[in-house]
Amino acid sequence: MLDLSMNRANSLSTLGSTARPVSAAGLAILPDAAKLIFRGRPAAVKKAGEAFGLTLPLEACRFSAEKTRTAFWLGPDEWMLQDIDAEASVLMGDLERALGDEPHSLVDVSHRSDAFVISGERSAYLLNHGCPLDLSLEAFPVGMCTRTIFAKAAILLSRPDRHTFHLDLWRSYAPYVWELLDEARSEFA
């Protein structure tokens, strides 16, 4: 029988192990996670949130998080549901059972992207080397997320606390963005 299972290799594993420590703007790989793109109308959103264990954010460009799970608002009827402790197939099965006949879309995108964190008091400054957004606390507060760009790569950017940003991006772009940020950090070394 043909084995169709995939062993996922993080595209940043080699780069992450060679990153030099820079306290003003640290770079670190985030753990691999189950990631599902969910789309649905209000009744499905309520059921999905209950099954996922989080109220899905209804305010534009916000995320909600608890323990190992995070729900990112991506559009008026679209969220990325992420869990660093779950298998994507198990999480998808649980959500599918909870949603039943409710019209929705649920797609496993776990193998599509990698994620890393930029942290430290100069993290926003570092990100602005390639991201055009105003990353001040007033314009991009804690709890915000958005799709944007870094240099030529599309990213999902979120801010879990004052001096910390998470970047989720397609695996093919991850080394490129990591290397640009690592090079920009050299001014702090």
Whole-angstrom distance, CA of residue 96 vs CA of residue 52: 11
Q: Which helix (H) or strand (E) holds 177?
A: helix 174-184
Is-contact 74 80, C-beta < 8 A? yes
In the sheet with 145-150, reading across from the earlier edge strand, the strands are 26-29, 113-119, 164-170, 153-161, 145-150
With a cut of 80, say whether residue 128 has pLDDT above it: yes
Q: Domain 33-109 belongs to what topology?
A: Alpha-Beta Plaits (3.30.70)
As to burial, measured by CB atoms within 10 angstroms (0-12 exposed, 13-18 middle, 19+ buried), residue 133 is middle
Plot region of 33 (φ>0 → left; ψ -120 to 50 → alpha; else → beta): beta
Is-contact 141 124, C-beta < 8 A? no
Closest by CA position to 18, among listed 165, 187, 185: 185
Band of pLDDT at residue 35, cut at 50, 70 and 90: very high
The three-class DSSP label of residue 117 is: strand
What is the pTM for the complete model shown? 0.91
Whole-angstrom distance, CA of residue 177 vs CA of residue 183: 10
The conformation of residue 147, written as its DSSP 8-state character, comes to E
Superfamily for domain range 12-31+112-189: Probable tRNA modification gtpase trme; domain 1 (3.30.1360.120)
Tell me: the pLDDT tens digits for 132-161? 999 999 999 999 999 999 999 999 999 999
With a cut of 80, say whether residue 16 has pLDDT above it: no
Range 20-49 average pLDDT: 94
pLDDT value of residue 189: 75
Residue 156 bridge partners (DSSP): 147, 168
Residue 49 or residue 188, greater confidence: 49
Over the chain, what is the mean pLDDT?
A: 92
Query: Where along the chain do its domains lie?
Result: 12-31+112-189, 33-109
Is-contact 23 74, C-beta < 8 A? no
With a cut of 80, say whether residue 14 has pLDDT above it: no
Estimate the share of the chain in helix, then strand, then coil, as percent rounded to the nearest 5. 25, 35, 40
Is-contact 124 136, C-beta < 8 A? yes
As to burial, measured by CB atoms within 10 angstroms (0-12 exposed, 13-18 middle, 19+ buried), residue 183 is exposed
